[in-house]
Amino acid sequence: MTETVTARRDTEVPRTSTPTPPRRRRRFTWGTGGLYVALVAIGIFCLAPFYWMVVSSLKGPADIFDNSLVPLEPTLENYAAVFGAQNTFALALRNSVIIAGSVTVIALVFGIFASYAIARLQFRGKNLVLGLFLATSMFPGVAILTPLFQLFADLGWIDTFQAMIIPDVSFSLPLGVWILTSFFRAMPWELEAAARVDGCTRGQAFRKIILPLAVPGVFTTAILVFISAWNEFMIANSMSLTSASQPVTVAIAQFSGISQYDKPYGTQMAAGVLVTIPLIILVLIFQRRIISGLTAGGVK
Amino acid sequence: MAISLGTARTRRRRPRESRERDGRLAFWLVIPSVIVLTVVIAFPVISSVVRSFFGDGIGDVPFVGFQNYADALWGYGAQEFWAATGITYLFAGVTIVLETLIGLGMALVANRAFRGRGLLRASVLVPWAIPTAVAAVLWKWAFDPQGIINAITGSTVVWTGSAVPSIIAIIIADTWKTAPFVALLILAGLQIIPDDVYEAAKIDGASAWKRFWYITLPLVRPALLVAVLFRLLDALRMYDLPEIMTNGANGTATLSVLVVQSTLSQLKPGYGGALSTLTFALIFVTAYLFVRLLGVNAVDQASSGKGAGR
Amino acid sequence: MRTKKRLIAVVTAATALTTAALTGCSTGASDNGGDGTGPITFASGKDLTGAMPQLIDKWNEMHPDQKVTFLELSASPDDQRTSFVQDFQAKSGKYDVIWGDVVWTSEFAAHGWLEPLDADKVAGDDILPAAVESATYEGKVWAAPFMTNAGLLYYRSDLIDAPPTTWDELEADCEIAKQNNMDCYAGQFAQYEGLTVNVAEAINSAGGAFLSEDGTEVAVDSPEAREGLQHLVDMFANGDINAGAITYQEQESANAFLEGKAMFLRNWPYVFTAASAPDSVIAGKFDMAQLPGLDGPGVSSLGGINLGVSAFSKNKETAKAWVEWMQSEDAQRILVSVMNQASVRTDLYTDPDLVQVSPYLPTLQKAELTAVPRPRTPNYNAVSLAIQKNAYAALQGNVTVDEAITQMAADLEQAIK
């Protein structure tokens, strides 16, 4: 199979020498009908449970369990309860933004550095590094919880942002490095080499030529890291004590109903909706970047 | 997978000093990540492993060597441990297959050009974006005997109250939640495939299926394998869904549920550490076999940095 | 070559440094002289009544230099416990007083995390004996009982005149439930702590026990225990308990009763508020009684909260004084009338003003006087899990009661080792 592909690629015009016309997407080959069926199926698969979540969030306590597909008496009281006195949700949202944002930036920077080194540079210990990245993803999270709590408690870092940011970065790095490495490997490095021959430093060549082409990989990693840091619970639950540092996942877990035994299902669903919407908006804004391909126009 | 060079450039042997400069630069580039990982993960893990060689109890605990491991593997904890291993691998196997198929389908569709594809991409991510705890509570109530699933399908199965239905419920919830993750990674991989390849194939008269099988799949394979590999690691550590939906009852207690039970709930860090190390060992072996058998292109031995023509 | 060596060197150094940092500076609770008075932090579960600050403000006004800071944790007992355990294990002393569920006292005491208290001051004759028992471990009192709880039987007073006092009577009343197309009995049967509570009530009501008094021997392998568990299993088998109830926790079971789908409900007193709310379907149609037992009134499991003083607290004297005050009549009155919880003071159950607000108080008191705490042992969670798993299997019909009890005994042996 590989041979077939390679053979074909030898016959094609090298990308670098011809400016290709604006990308034409592949035409519908399954027939438009097939595509729309697939679209509907995907839509239902992904959104039906979310729809149920939204519907549940709009139902008051009386009819929350009545299984009606449309709320009989829609009410916003769950949303009010989310922001109510007992639940400091707005603060939690702020904390989540700070934590997830920092984690994304740091993990991207570290990850890009490391992936560049692995993909591009020659050094002994590559296997060791990649193996280390992979192995750290093999431990059940709880295994590191208590010693880490102890360490941070000694440092006086409980109830601070860094106590959550640093572990989250380490959870995201392995996947990020692997994704970015496989992207960087697929880059046309001859461009970089050519740029350096022309006098650019490594850094400039990287920034100006390689990085723009790696945008899909970088943004995919960014979105995955952001979402995973946004939704992280176990570490945040242990490391944050007060609403000053608690992110939304912990805040939601602390929602309470009227009694200790009442699970505030409606409020939790409302909070879930509130917490998911920003992520969806983020994805909508950046989804172009995820899919912008290797347009040959990026070549000098 | 052979590295074939798109152009006829020969590999130059780099001068030694350039290699050393490379080495030094690589060191500084890699070291921040390595430090973070060492402090946050390696250190606690090592301390947990060391602790697993001691007994549990209050006050001074004796050194017991491998006793905790023996207990888990063939001692009094064996039945629980092996049952958990079985269910963990069952969950992992089924969910990975389902998520890969569904994820691949979603990625292929999302890759196409049509109006509103931005919205499609955003909707594909919705399940992944919902916090796991909220999603777990949502599915738990959906599978309640009086919940929406029974209401819609008309069945009276007590989903979270018996063995096979709870397993099915958890698999459904996990697949729904995580297929987008796989889809997103595959989608990113699909982006690298240039159109020209497909054009050439179409000119040569290849059918849609042939194009998919002989072009798409091989070229998306690296991204696909990375996605599946990391899904594998996550799936074998599944915790939230069984814990929230069934509390680990009905035989759905995965390895991570056992580890949390021992470490946090029963305050037995020795036994819990042993379970956690055994879990790591199982995952390590599984991942190793996966990488070996499927040839995930982890580190290119012959890498000279030219990856354009795979 | 160099790079690999360097990498290994850095990894080793980082690990060594972190280990040193951790083992080197373990901050114990340094005795900082002083008389042990000063501001303290009260780590509490989520205050669902909204009235705890009121209580705390009262103390703070009286003792401005020994202010209590109210720190609210999760509403989930498991999360609370994890938080406390982590704080204790780190010996940080950040929490001076903790909101201790009654089943945690023995565990925390055995680990040396609690400060022993003066029995005369917090466990006197004016406090319910069962509550005192729950705060006692190995002869000493380790926490101050603050709030208490016992399971009660809710029943539809519009369908039957008098509540059943024995299991036979209960099963006879199930006929009426069937005629009205209702489930007979609802309780908490999912595999979680609530199941331990329900099973404990069944087994204790039949005269059985899980462990010996001192918690060192397993006592569940007995005909009484089997009879108790058999009662629950039978009710599942003949449909008196809905098959779906195997997933019930407190809320689901309360819903079944509140929606008029079940005739009897075993639950904590809190359901009273929702059941007598103006928009409740069953308002005015229900009443509460003691749980039925094998030959007479049954035995409730004791719930509640004991306030524990951390052994690592820097202001122990204030902490002790404060928990004593929380037991005083002033504080307990607010607890009952404003926060609508059950007091630990025996005399507050018959006070006419309080009974007017919560008419079930006399019944509750009777239940609490005969209530039995769940097994008091340092390994409570392991014990509870052993009980849950085996009882759950029996209720599902996967094993016989005999097998379940035998296995439970074996698991309990392992758990208390």
CB contact under 8 A, B7 and A187: no
pLDDT at A87: 56
**Would you tell me which residues 58-117 of chain B have a C-beta closer than 8 angstroms to some C-beta of chain A?**
102, 105-106, 109, 111-114
Is the ipTM higher than 0.95? The answer is no
Q: Report how far apart, in Å, the C-alpha atoms of C157 and of each of C154, C160, C256, C284, C390 are.
A: 9, 5, 16, 8, 34
Residue B255, classified by CB atoms within 10 Å of its CB into exposed (0-12), middle (13-18) or buried (19+), is buried
pLDDT at B168: 95
Over residues B178-210, the pLDDT tens digits come to 999 899 888 888 877 888 888 888 888 878 788
CB atoms within 10 A of CB C218: 22
CB contact under 8 A, C15 and B42: yes
Provide the phi-psi class of C50: left if phi over 0, else alpha when psi is between -120 and 50, else beta: left
First to last CA, chain A: 33
Q: What are phi and psi of C29, to 5 degrees?
A: -85, 95
CATH topology (fold) of C152-299+379-415: D-Maltodextrin-Binding Protein; domain 2 (3.40.190)
pLDDT beyond 80 at B295: no
What does the pLDDT average to over A22-37? 62
Helix, strand counts (H, E) of chain A? 14, 0
Question: Distance between CA atoms of C155 and C169, rounded to whole angstroms?
Answer: 13
Is A215 in the B-facing interface, judged by CB distances under 8 Å?
A: no
pLDDT at B200: 86
pLDDT-derived band at A286, boundaries 50, 70, 90: confident
Helix axes C380-396, C193-205, angle to 10 degrees: 80
Q: Could you tell me the two tokens for C388?
A: 């849950």
The secondary structure of residue A296, as a DSSP letter, is G
Give the start-to-end residue ranges of the domains of chain C: 39-149+302-370, 152-299+379-415
CB atoms within 10 A of CB B196: 17
Residues of chain A contacting B112 with CB distance shorter than 8 Å: 25-26, 28, 35
pLDDT tens-place values along chain C, 417 residues long: 556 666 676 666 666 665 555 544 444 444 444 678 899 999 998 887 778 888 899 999 999 999 999 988 888 888 899 889 989 988 888 899 999 999 999 999 999 999 999 999 888 889 999 999 999 999 999 999 999 989 999 999 999 999 999 999 999 999 999 999 999 999 999 999 999 999 999 999 999 999 998 888 999 999 999 999 999 999 999 999 999 999 999 989 999 999 999 999 999 998 888 898 888 889 999 999 999 999 999 999 999 999 999 999 999 999 999 999 999 999 999 888 888 788 999 888 888 888 888 889 899 999 999 999 999 999 999 999 999 999 999 999 999 999 999 999 999 999 998
**Of A202 and B181, the one with more pLDDT:** B181
Question: Distance between CA atoms of A239 and B109, rounded to whole angstroms?
Answer: 41
Least confident of A3-7, A94-98, B282-286: A3-7
CB-nearest partner of C15 from B43, B144, B264: B43
- Asked if the domains C39-149+302-370 and C152-299+379-415 are classified in one and the same CATH topology, the answer is yes
pLDDT at A16: 47
pLDDT at C6: 66
The secondary structure of residue A74, as a DSSP letter, is -
Closest CA to B256 of B110, B88, B64, B109: B88
Closest CA–CA distance from residue A262 to any residue of chain C (Å): 5
Least confident of A10-19, A188-197, C35-44: A10-19
Give the start-to-end residue ranges of the domains of chain B: 3-51, 71-304
Closest CA–CA distance from residue A205 to any residue of chain B (Å): 15
CATH topology (fold) of C39-149+302-370: D-Maltodextrin-Binding Protein; domain 2 (3.40.190)
With beta carbons less than 8 A apart as the criterion, state whether A64 and A58 touch. no
CB contact under 8 A, A268 and B137: yes
Closest CA to B192 of B212, B222, B231: B222
Best CATH choice for the domain A88-254 from the list 1.25.40.10, 1.20.1260.10, 3.40.50.720, 1.10.3720.10: 1.10.3720.10
Closest CA–CA distance from residue B163 to any residue of chain A (Å): 23
pLDDT beyond 50 at A15: no
pLDDT beyond 50 at A247: yes
pLDDT at B272: 93
CB atoms within 10 A of CB B284: 16
CB contact under 8 A, C2 and B24: yes
pLDDT beyond 60 at A266: yes
Q: Could you tell me the two tokens for B41?
A: 């993960």
Closest CA–CA distance from residue A237 to any residue of chain B (Å): 12
Least confident of A204-218, A225-239, B236-250, C242-256: A204-218
What does the pLDDT average to over B144-149? 89
Residues of chain C contacting B250 with CB distance shorter than 8 Å: 191
pLDDT beyond 70 at B60: yes
pLDDT beyond 90 at A86: no
With beta carbons less than 8 A apart as the criterion, state whether A162 and A236 touch. no
With beta carbons less than 8 A apart as the criterion, state whether A189 and B300 touch. no
A37-46, long-range: CB within 8 Å, 24+ apart, which pairs?
A38/B105, A38/B109, A39/B109, A39/B114, A39/B120, A42/B105, A42/B106, A42/B109, A42/B120, A42/B123, A42/B124, A43/B120, A43/B123, A45/B102, A45/B176, A45/B179, A46/B123, A46/B124, A46/B126, A46/B127, A46/B176, A46/B180
Residues of chain C contacting B26 with CB distance shorter than 8 Å: 3
Mutate which of A12, A102, A144 to disrupt the B interface (most B C-beta within 10 Å)? A144
C-alpha angle A232-A236-A238 in degrees, rounded to nearest 5 = 135
CB-nearest partner of B38 from C1, C14, C389: C14
User: Chain-centre distance of CA A161, in angstroms?
Assistant: 19
**Of A167 and C350, the one with more pLDDT:** A167
**Would you tell me which residues 122-161 of chain B have a C-beta closer than 8 angstroms to some C-beta of chain A?**
122-135, 137-139, 141-142, 146-148, 151
CB contact under 8 A, B138 and A127: no
pLDDT at C19: 56
CB contact under 8 A, A143 and B9: no
CB contact under 8 A, B130 and A185: no
Closest CA–CA distance from residue B262 to any residue of chain C (Å): 9
pLDDT at C240: 92
**Would you tell me which residues 10-39 of chain C have a C-beta closer than 8 angstroms to some C-beta of chain B?**
10-11, 14-15, 18-19, 22
Q: Which amino acid is at C283?
A: A
Q: Report how far apart, in Å, the C-alpha atoms of C327 and of each of A212, B120, C135, C340, C361 are.
A: 68, 60, 13, 15, 18
**Would you tell me which residues 268-287 of chain A have a C-beta closer than 8 angstroms to some C-beta of chain B?**
268-269, 271-272, 275-276, 279-280, 283-284, 287
CB contact under 8 A, C22 and A154: yes
Q: How many CA atoms lie within 13 A of A192 on its CB side?
A: 27
What is the CATH number assigned to the segment(s) B71-304?
Answer: 1.10.3720.10
What does the pLDDT average to over A181-195? 81
CB contact under 8 A, A275 and B256: no
pLDDT-derived band at A253, boundaries 50, 70, 90: confident
Q: What are phi and psi of C68, to 5 degrees?
A: -100, 125
Question: Distance between CA atoms of C291 and C167, rounded to whole angstroms?
Answer: 9
Residues of chain C contacting B33 with CB distance shorter than 8 Å: none
CB atoms within 10 A of CB A243: 18
Over residues B70-104, the pLDDT tens digits come to 999 999 889 999 999 999 999 999 999 999 999 99
pLDDT beyond 70 at A7: no
Question: Distance between CA atoms of B69 and B279, rounded to whole angstroms?
Answer: 11
Closest CA–CA distance from residue B186 to any residue of chain A (Å): 10
Q: How many CA atoms lie within 13 A of C348 on its CB side?
A: 26
Closest CA–CA distance from residue B250 to any residue of chain A (Å): 22
Residues in chain B, overall count: 310
Least confident of A76-90, A140-154, B229-243, C373-387: A76-90
Over residues B228-279, the pLDDT tens digits come to 999 999 999 999 899 989 988 998 999 999 999 999 899 999 999 999 999 9
Q: What is the β-pairing status of strands C40-44 and C262-267? A: unpaired
Average pLDDT across chain C, whole number:
89
